[in-house]
Amino acid sequence: MSDACGCGDDEPRPAGEAAGAGDQEPERLWQVSELRWAAVSGMLLLAGYSTGWAGGPSWAQLGLQGVALVAGAWTFVPSTVRRLLKGKIGVGTLMTIAAVGAVALGEVGEAAMLAFLFSISEGLEEYSLRRTRRGLRALLALVPKEATVRRDGAEQVIPSAELRIGDLMVVKPGERIATDGIIRAGRTALDVSAITGESVPVEADVGSEVFAGSINGNGALEIEVTATAADNSLARIVAIVEAEQSRKGTRQRLADRVARPLVPGVMIAAAMIALVGSLFGDPLVWVERALVVLVAASPCALAISVPVTVVAAIGAASKIGVLVKGGAALENLGTVKTIAVDKTGTLTRNRPAVIDIATIPGMSDQHVLELAAALEARSEHPLARAILAAVGHVPAAEDVQAVTGAGLTGHVDGRLVRLGRPGWLEPGNLAEAVNRMQRAGATAVLVEADSRVIGAIAVRDELRPEAAAVVARLRSDGYGVVMLTGDNPATATALAAQAGINEVHADLRPEDKARVIDRLRGRQPTAMVGDGVNDAPALATADLGIAMGAMGTDVAIETADVALMGEDLRHLPQALEHARHSRRIMLQNIGLSLAIVTVLMPLALSGVLGLAAVVAVHEVAEVAVIANGVRAGRARPLPAAAGTTAPARQEVLA
């Protein structure tokens, strides 16, 4: 919320205060205290006017209007006074002065109308903000209240909050998983659509990591708990998003910059109007006009227009598996023009496999694989998993060291062995075999023993089935798509051609990717899509960092501005479209808010509009920008399957 507008409160309130329900967000309009007070004020105001129309005593009409004024003012005057005592002024200050001035002029009914309408906008703003926060926190409702654990050889049902790290959960078919863990027994297909936005079940068996809120398929599971209920993946996601919502985007900061000086500026202008007008005309007329101008220039609609949109959009994004870290990230997501994507794990499945082996005469494929596996056993590189999976026996290696961006060295059975990419190691007689592997889109890994290259291993990570369609969608939407990879140019070019990408930057180290991103930023606003670990420098350098498959990965969530929690690449264009739609709503709200102030001020100054009319127009405008901002809270999930055909455009528009 802006400092300039709370709007009446002028400051954020603890969750649930408005609803009076502890930490529960209001689910119905009548649960918002501001709207309840507004209803009381409205009924009393109507009763007061009815008394006057019926020819009742004036004291009864005045009394009803006075009580209506108190009921409506209760939603913003106390907080305004608290802020004034701290030396802070806001829109509530303008409204309070206007109400007091109207009473001083004998216009109690007009003051009551101002308080009534302003309390309605206060309540609607409060409801919209808390409703979108409630949608985000609904993720936590995916966690069951109870879980079955095996302790001391017996199964028992306990509250999920009492789960401890190391407990063994027993999850039956159809049940939700209470917290994060690792499968120790059983095999199943998990429904993770509520978390990642992907509707295709995920196969999981012994050793697979599972997350809170997932629905077990048709297999019984035993899961070792790796996180408490308060610290599981869903709880971290909610905590991160709510903390990052305080980060304001450029338009939110623009609204703040306009609103903050406007409040004291309007107060000074109103004082000058009253003073100068009183010198040359009727003081009562000009004091009244000054009060009307004070209300007409209130920037409340401007100050709340963007925050409401941001909160709604971020909450909606979380429901489709897109974690947006604040208003700044949302705005940047809506303005990027170039998308730089890492190859491994982003465009590809990140499941590399050995597809070919070439050796020098007299050397067996198995021996080459075993030497490579001996060094790769100490590596966390994705290619290491592929080589280790292709060999049965892994010899012991000593003195294994990594050469950044090149490969590994070590000793196996007393022999110096090196493993690495062509360029660091010369292929020699295997040059043609290496070229053949790279033309096929595979990564060639050379194995050298005693200073002689004895073999080449081809490892290929297949393109995601949806990758080509997603790239086509991005290009049709006007984005430039660039591939960045540490792989060799031949392999990178082959895979890029399959995906439909024309611009490729290959053979890059992490720092090289950051430099390429810096150059791309010089042309257009650029987003980097990577895994959040090896691509950290590039993610940090880009205008916007997007982590792919970040569910449960703290490093990815912390590094990137946006995290796609699932593995479906189609979430990328979906997130971009959602952000563009939200940005359009922000611009509409800012334009409408400024237009209202621009039109009302001269009408108020000239006396065309009175206090009640100005208040009515202003509060209708506030309701309009709130309602428009809430539209950003609508988003639809992806279709059921990620095939190889072009995905249907995901409409996130209202």
Query: What is the 3 state secondary structure string of 518-574?
Result: HHHHHHCCEEEEECCCCCHHHHHHCCEEEEECCCCCHHHHHHCCEEECCCCCCHHHH
Query: What is the 3 state secondary structure string of 79-95?
Result: HHHHHHHCCCCCHHHHH
Gyration radius (Cα) of the chain, Å: 32
Q: Are 345 and 463 in contact (CB under 8 A)?
A: no
Question: Is 342 among the catalytic positions?
Answer: yes
**Token match 């998990």: residue?**
190
* Residue closest to 311 by CA, chosen among 220, 218, 245, 226: 245
Q: Which helix (H) or strand (E) holds 505?
A: strand 503-505
**Token match 């393109």: residue?**
463
* Residue closest to 17 by CA, chosen among 87, 78, 90, 95: 78
Q: List Cα–Cα distances, 341 to 383, 399, 536, 548, in angstroms.
A: 19, 35, 13, 10
Say which DSSP state 640 is in: S
Whether the CA torsion 421, 424, 430, 434 is positive or negative: it is positive
Distance in angstroms (rounded) separating the CA atoms of residues 299 and 185: 60
Instruction: State how beta strands 544-548 and 221-225 pair.
Output: unpaired
β-strand partners of 169:
149, 223
Name the packing angle between helices 300-319 and 108-137 (round to 10°): 20
Q: By CB neighbour count within 10 A (0-12 exposed, 13-18 middle, 19+ buried), where does 253 fall?
A: middle
Taking the CB of residue 500, how many other CB atoms lie within 10 A of it?
15
What CA dihedral angle connects 104, 109, 114 and 118, to 10 degrees?
A: 130
Distance in angstroms (rounded) separating the CA atoms of residues 217 and 239: 28
| Counts for the chain of helices (H) and strands (E), in that order | 21, 21
Whether the CA torsion 216, 217, 221, 223 is positive or negative: it is negative
Kindly list the strands in the beta sheet with 209-210, ordered across the sheet, starting from the edge strand earlier in the chain: 154-159, 146-151, 168-171, 221-225, 181-185, 209-210
Residues 6+ apart with CB under 8 A from 610: 110, 292
Identify the active-site residue in 10, 180, 342, 561.
342
Q: Are 505 and 484 in contact (CB under 8 A)?
A: yes
Joined tokens for residue 627: 């309602």
* Residue closest to 211 by CA, chosen among 631, 565, 579: 565
Residues comprising the chain, all counted: 654
Helix, strand, or coil (residue 609): coil
Q: Are 614 and 437 in contact (CB under 8 A)?
A: no
Taking the CB of residue 259, how many other CB atoms lie within 10 A of it?
25
- Residues marked active site are found at 342
